[in-house]
Amino acid sequence: MKTFQVTITNEWFNANEELIAVVQQLYDLRTALLKTKSLEGYKAYCNCYAKINALLRKITKTETANVMLCKVERGICWILELNYLEDGDSPIEIYDWPSIEELNEEGLDTLKGENITVVRLDEELEDNDEEGFIEELADEFE
C-alpha cells in the first residue's frame, strides 16, 4: 500500500450531536466497504465522503479546496484540514490517526502543523484485494 505524508493546516473540535452521528455513520459505511468490497458500496462511500467534506467546510466556515477529514474521539468530532487538494479521484484516509492520549504522551496538544501519513482508499482496498474488486472498480470508471 502506497502511503504519503501531508501537513495538517488546521484543526477544529465540534460537539454537535448530529455531526457526530453522521461521522459515525460514514465510519460504519467505510468499515462495511472494507469487508464487502462492493462496487455499490464504494460509490456510496465516495458520495458520502464528498458530502462530508462539503459539510465540514460549512461547519468550519472554511473556503478551501483542501481535503477535510474527521473522526469521533471521546464524543467530540475532531476535524482536520490537510495541505492536500481534493482531486475527487479517491477518498484520502489517515493511515494511523493518533488518539488524544497519544498526542499528550508526545507532549502535543494539537496536530496543526504536524505531518501525518495518509493513504488513498483505492490503494487500501487494492492492498487487501483477493477477489479482484479493484479490477472491477477500474473497469467501472474507465
Q: Strand locations in the chain, DSSP E?
A: 3-14, 66-73, 76-85, 92-94, 115-120
How confident is the model over 32-44, as pLDDT tens digits? 888 887 888 888 8
Residue 112: pLDDT over 70: yes
How confident is the model over 68-77, as pLDDT tens digits? 999 999 999 9
Q: Within 10 Å of residue 81's Cβ, how many Cβ atoms?
A: 21
Q: What is the mean pLDDT of residues 95-117?
A: 92
Residue 142 confidence class, pLDDT cut points 50, 70, 90 = low
pTM assigned to the model: 0.84
CA 1, distance to chain mean position in Å, is: 16
pLDDT at 118 (0 to 100)? 94
- Find, among 1, 56, 47, the residue nearest to 23 by Cα: 56
